Structure 1
Amino acid sequence: MGQRMIGMFDSGVGGLTVMKEILAQLPDVQIIYFGDTARVPYGNRSREELIHFGEEIISFLIHQGAEAIVVACNTSSANAVPVLKEYYNLPLIGTIEPGARAAVQATATGNIGLIATEATVRSKAYSSAVRRVLTKGILPKKTELREAWQKGGHSIELVKAQACPLFVPLVEAGLSHSPEARGIARTYLAPIQEAQVDALILGCTHYPFLAPVIREILGEEITLVDPAQAMVEELKEVLEQLGHNQEKGQEMNKTSNHHRFFVSGDPVLFEQVGNTLLPGQIHSVKQVSWHQ
């Protein structure tokens, strides 16, 4: 297929959890990553701001040579991607529908939970996506629940969405495993426990950094759903189509397998925190300023 160049962006280091999954399954792609660390967190931003940020970053990534964009940010995916898809003539892969699809397939009771930023919870994008994937015929793997739902005898829905505004700042500061993180997580996760969910969507790409703490509090019986895996499946389909189109055109330029990293804030902090997830893979981070 030849090497493809993929653009990715997030409000900060969170999107690296998606990048890790992409590299595990698609080691030959070259990734241009943008972390908007000067404007993190996105969770308290307006829809208009998120669309504006997305325009700036996607245009930058296209200028860098990106052939497809992975929006590795749930807040942007929920609020901005539906609009941004109309602006750009290249594939944009968001987190919402892949995450909803994975949660529906994972639940055994029909009770799905969500932890996310305030903006993602407010958008109700995941609730809508759960209903949408069910109407597309994507159903739970558990036979009893699937059959009960098809007969109209059991609901499958997002029963509790919990905003966790302090999670992103904790991760960005490198405090994912701190006592503060554990205390804050216990408070946020109490309503999730009360709702008796059995599949919990990690509705922010920063949250897998906190997965050990979340797992410690909730126990093994709750499935943590990371949309990243389902996103990679969608990316594979996009790359296949890009490869098919390439065969009809000219041979693409060969590039090195060196990933590039850009941030709008502190490159040193990004490198330090990012390398806790992708050891030794993040270096030469460049800072980009939108304003002269």
Structure 2
Amino acid sequence: MNKPSPALFFVEADVDHRTNIREDLRSDIADYYDQSYWDYRTSWLNSKNLAIHYGYWSEATKSHSDSLLEMNEVVAAQLNLKAGDYVLDAGCGIGGSSIWLAENFNVKVTGITVSPTQIEQAKKNAKRRGVDHLVDFKLEDYTQTLFEDETFDHVWGLESICYALKKSDFVNEAFRVLKKGGSFAIADGFAAKREVTHKEWAHVLKVLNGWVMPNMSTSTEFEGFMKSSGFKNIYYRDITENTLPSSKRLYYTAIFTYPMEKVMSWIGLRTAVQSGNFNACFGQYHVLHDGIGCYGLFSAMKGLD
């Protein structure tokens, strides 16, 4: 006797699906990164890469730290970067990619984030690395910035666009602030489908709640936003396989430290936000490994006309 297929339900786009909303989305994102910094600092990033994102693993990658820098290289390869160019780092975190771009390409970078704490950390990191004359950081929402039209030669987004409620708002703003002939590149997580089972949705919710993401767009939807805004030469590559080692690292680190997490939460040494960040490590593993989501790389150009 054949088992009935699991019931499917449709996941709406452009909706904040989180079930643990505390304040508004922008405040919750800033609070998440402020509270989770030491998780990243002790188990993920180091003073060289300053990276709060997945790594890119190729046959030549030798270590976790190298993979984080290699992701920068992969995204940068999509941009025609030249010394003196002006880059917008949309969702800059503590300045890792902005600093790396300045050091490796001698470009000027403005990084923007919704966290005042990250602004302070990023400025200190840039000064410590000797690139504060090339890099600056501002408190801005990348869907509605205060920059003039056609300010930047390039727009960069590394694992930050997933936080936009409406991804089309970011794409439209990126197009507005980009100069004619300028280039655009992002790497981020995407939904692989709109219809999911209840079991699959439970994994997705762990990610959305834990990492304060309102939703995930599909790569097809995102490409549509880019076409509608006016971008040309749109390129997409699924790089899920290259990020799976990072996904596994998060997952097995969470398994190994699970008893400690439970005890620390029980005695009040871990907040609900920090525990949510921890639980997302389990959810993301299933999202990427079970085909519920994917990790993709987009690039495009703004036409000269």
If the TM-score is normalised by the length of the shorter chain, which range does it land in? 0.3 to 0.5
Structure 1 length-normalised TM: 0.33
